[in-house]
A and B are shown apart, each in its own frame.
Chain A
Amino acid sequence: MSLLRKKHWQRRHLMETFMKFIMRVSLFIVAGALGLILWIVIVRGLPSLSWDMVTKIPEGGYYMGKVGGILNAIIGSAYLAGGGTLLAVLFSVPIALYLKTYLGDSKWGQYVRLSLDVLWGIPSIVYGAFGFALMITIGMRASLLAGIIILAFIELPIMTRAMDEVIRRMPVDLEHAALALGSTKFEVALRVVTRQMLPGITTAILLGFGRGIGDAASVLFTAGYTDRIPTSLMRPTASLPLAVFFQLGSPYPEVQQRGYAAALILTIIVLAVSLGSRWLSARLNKYTIK
Chain B
Amino acid sequence: MSQENPTFSNQTNKQAEGRAFRPSATLRARQDQAAQRAFFIFSLLPVLLILFVTVALFFRSWPIISEYGLSDLLFGEVWKPNNGQFGFWPFILGTFWVTAVGVILAVPACLLASIYLAEYAHNRTRSIAKPVLDLLAAIPPVVYGVWGLVAIVPFVDDKLAPLSDRWLGSFSIFSVNQPTGFNVLSAGIVLAVMVAPLIISVMYEIFSTVPNDLRHASLAVGATQWQTIRNIILPQVAPGILAAVVLGASRALGETIAVLMVVGNIPQIPTSIFDSAYPLPALIANNYGEMMSIPLYDAALLSAALVLLVVILIFNILSIIVLQRMTRKK
Contacts and interface: CB of A to CB of B under 8 A. Distances in A.
Contact, chains A and B (beta carbon distance below 8 A): yes
B19 interface: no
Nearest to A93: B42
A126 B142 contact: no
Contact of A245 (B31, B257, B313): B257
Nearest to A185: B32
B46 A33 contact: no
A16 B226 contact: yes
Contacts of A245: 142, 145, 257, 261
Interface residues of B, number: 89
Interface in A98-155: 98-99, 102-103, 105, 108, 110-119, 121-130, 132-134, 136-137, 153
B253 A278 contact: no
Contact of A125 (B32, B135, B254): B254
Interface in B27-47: 28-29, 31-32, 35-36, 38-40, 42-43, 45-47
B160 interface: no
B312 A124 contact: no
B287 to A, nearest CB: 11
Interface string B129-161: 101111110111111111101110000000000
A24 interface: yes
Contacts of A287: none
A277 to B, nearest CB: 9
B196 A123 contact: no
A71 to B, nearest CB: 18
Interface string A142-171: 000000000001001100100000000000
A91 B144 CA distance: 30
Interface centre among B108, B281, B291 (most CB of A within 10 A): B281
B59 interface: yes
Contact of B46 (A119, A127, A129, A275): A119
Nearest to A206: B138
A114 B324 contact: yes
A124 B284 CA distance: 12
Interface string B104-135: 00001110110111001000000001011111
B309 A122 contact: yes
A82 B118 CA distance: 36
A44 B42 contact: no
A95 B129 contact: no
B139 A37 contact: yes
A278 B133 CA distance: 13
A121 B316 contact: yes
B321 interface: yes
A217 B256 contact: yes
A111 B51 CA distance: 13
A26 B116 contact: yes
A31 interface: yes
Interface stretch (B78-86, B165-173, B298-306): B298-306
A118 B120 contact: no
A128 B281 CA distance: 11
A23 B113 contact: yes
B320 A118 contact: yes
A262 to B, nearest CB: 9
A41 interface: yes
Given A112-B47, A133-B302, A156-B49, 14 more contacts: A12-B224, A26-B109, A34-B139, A108-B43, A112-B46, A121-B250, A136-B298, A156-B46, A184-B28, A245-B257, A263-B146, A270-B140, A274-B134, A278-B134
20 contacts: A12-B227, A20-B116, A23-B116, A26-B112, A34-B132, A97-B39, A103-B43, A115-B46, A117-B320, A123-B251, A123-B255, A125-B256, A125-B285, A125-B305, A128-B285, A132-B288, A136-B60, A214-B139, A241-B257, A271-B139
Interface of A: 12-13, 15-16, 19-20, 22-24, 26-27, 29-31, 33-34, 36-37, 40-41, 44, 91, 94-95, 97-99, 102-103, 105, 108, 110-119, 121-130, 132-134, 136-137, 153, 156-157, 160, 182, 184-187, 189, 210-211, 213-217, 220-221, 241, 244-245, 248, 259-260, 263, 266-267, 270-271, 273-275, 278
Interface of B: 18, 28-29, 31-32, 35-36, 38-40, 42-43, 45-47, 49-50, 53, 56-57, 59-60, 108-110, 112-113, 115-117, 120, 129, 131-136, 138-147, 149-151, 193, 196-197, 200, 224-227, 247, 250-251, 253-257, 261, 281, 284-285, 288, 291-292, 298, 301-302, 305, 308-309, 312-313, 315-317, 320-321, 324, 328
